[in-house]
Structures are given as C-alpha cells and as structure tokens.
A and B are shown apart, each in its own frame.
Chain A
C-alpha cells in the first residue's frame, strides 16, 4: 500500500469507530435525555430549573479538540487520507444566520440535536425515531430546493451573454 494512496478500508473503519465513540460520549454526557438539553435553556424557575450540564459537554469536547486541531493540522495530511478536507469560508451571510436560527428553534422544541437524535434512535426510542424522520425529511427537502435555486441562478447568469457560468455552492 503506497503512502500517497488513501486507504478506503481504513477510512471506513475509522468512520464507524468514530461514530461509536461519539455515541457513547453523547449518552454518557446526558445529551440523549432531551430534558437535560431543555434544562440548559430553562430559567422558568430561575436557577432551580437551570441545568448547566450542556456547557460541561461543550467544554469537555473543546478541551480535547482544540489542542489536537492546533497541533495536528500543522502536518500536511491526516493518517488515512492524502489531505485535510476542512471548511475555509469565513463570511457571515443570511443563509448561515437563518439556518442556525431555524435549527435552534427545532432544538429547543424537541430537545434533540442531530447527534443525540441518531444515538437515541439507535437505542430504539420512539420519540427519537420521530425526530430523526422529520430531520431526514427536512434535510432532503432543503437539498432539493437548494438544487433548484442553484440551477435557476445558473440559468440567470448564463442568459445575458450566453456564457454559462459554474454555480458557486
């Protein structure tokens, strides 16, 4: 096996084990209990109803990820692929704000963000099945609408001078 060829089997194994560890972390952290998530945002009875656990989950995660990211991305490549595939955008647009706002409403309404919803679905929770079902529908719908929108923008760009331009995603 050449060092420059990405090894698919290693990548697949790593993805599966990463998912496993992630699920165990989520379940241990309490995030698979929607009441704990809602509790983080619940000040209806002041500090009595407040549950700061979520901040400890985020803090614990960042405590590990921040130094690993800083040190490891100085390397030229990850272990099982030829290069890093990381986000590069830094602009703040309406789409980011609107998307995050909608996600937050759904999160506050159901108490499940995507990771805990999937992990709880694996634990055969019927409520999580409903949330995951809705989530997949929402993801699919948005992707289809976004595809249509991108195609229309492409046509619009192409029509004035007859030169089709590549849509930027």
Chain B
C-alpha cells in the first residue's frame, strides 16, 4: 500500500460528490459521465448543449488543474497506443450498452440503492480486477 493516498482521495471523492449533488439539485439529473458524453453524440434537440457544456467543464477543469499541479496527471502505465485504443473502445461500447460507468452507476446509483447499479458495479469491478490480473500474469504488467 505504498502509493495509498487516503486524504487526497477522500477529499477528491467529496468534491465529486458535491459535483454530482449539484447536477441533481440544480438540473435534476444524474451526473453520469458516460451517459452525458454519449448523449452529445446522439444530437437530440434540447439535450445537446447542456451535455456538451458539462463535458467542456471537465476538459477545462483538467486543463486548469494541470496548469497548477501537473503531477496529478503524471503517473501513467505501460500500455501501447493499440492497447489504449482498444481500452477506450471497450469503455465506450460497455458504458452505452450497460447504461453507465463509475459515476452514474457507482457514486449516484449506489447512493440511490439502485439494484441495476449495484449489479453493474459488482460486474465491472470484477472484470476490471480480472483484466488487471491477466495483464500482470500473462504480460508482466505491460501491454
């Protein structure tokens, strides 16, 4: 547990909770990042601008944070471009098919006691752990 950052991670988590709560209290919606992002691609009228602005907020937030603390984006992993592209495609297909990711099913869904979200979280946690174990065991952690 040499890389464990309980305080920063809990504080960051609280802030993520605040953002998710803002989306509920102000706009009455679930702060599910994959749903919002995927929704931009669908171009439904009246549903595109707010979604695009939320995504823009994420991008601008990342840019600004990097300007002050580039270390927050520093520790990467040993993956080829092909592996990262495949990872992205799987995340894209999976989150659209399963209606959510770590934010929508994880933080929002579990807090709402949604049975679908609980099942989704247990499933994606299990396959993520299996994938990490497989990459570590068969490829020595590099792919």
Q: Which residues does A use to contact B, with CB under 8 Å? A: 8, 10-12, 14-36, 38-39, 41-44, 47-48, 50-54, 56-66, 68-69, 72-73, 77-81, 83-87, 89-92, 95-115, 117-125, 127-128, 130-143, 146
Contacts and interface: CB of A to CB of B under 8 A. Distances in A.
A58 B87 CA distance: 22
Contacts of B102: 58, 107, 113-115
A102 B105 contact: no
Nearest to A43: B133
Contacts of A115: 33, 58, 101-103
A79 B25 contact: yes
B61 A14 contact: no
A96 B104 CA distance: 13
A5 B98 CA distance: 33
Contact of B77 (A34, A57, A85): A34
20 contacts: A14-B23, A15-B54, A15-B57, A16-B56, A25-B16, A29-B9, A35-B76, A41-B132, A64-B17, A68-B24, A89-B116, A96-B98, A100-B124, A112-B87, A112-B91, A114-B33, A119-B59, A130-B85, A135-B92, A139-B34
B92 A44 contact: no
Given A61-B107, A136-B41, A119 B28 contact: no
A18 B26 contact: yes
Of A66, A77, A83, A125, chain B has the most CB atoms within 10 Å of the CB of A66
Contacts of B15: 21-22, 24-25, 28-29, 60
Given A14-B27, A135-B91, A120 B62 contact: yes
Contacts of A122: 58-63, 66
A65 B38 contact: no
Nearest to A35: B75
B83 to A, nearest CB: 6
A146 B93 CA distance: 11
B84 to A, nearest CB: 4
Contacts of B88: 106, 110, 112, 117, 130-138
B13 A29 contact: yes
Contact of B75 (A34, A110, A143): A34
A36 B62 CA distance: 17
Of B27, B49, B127, B130, chain A has the most CB atoms within 10 Å of the CB of B27
A100 B98 CA distance: 5
B12 A25 contact: yes
Interface in B43-89: 49-51, 53-66, 69-70, 72-77, 79, 81, 83-89
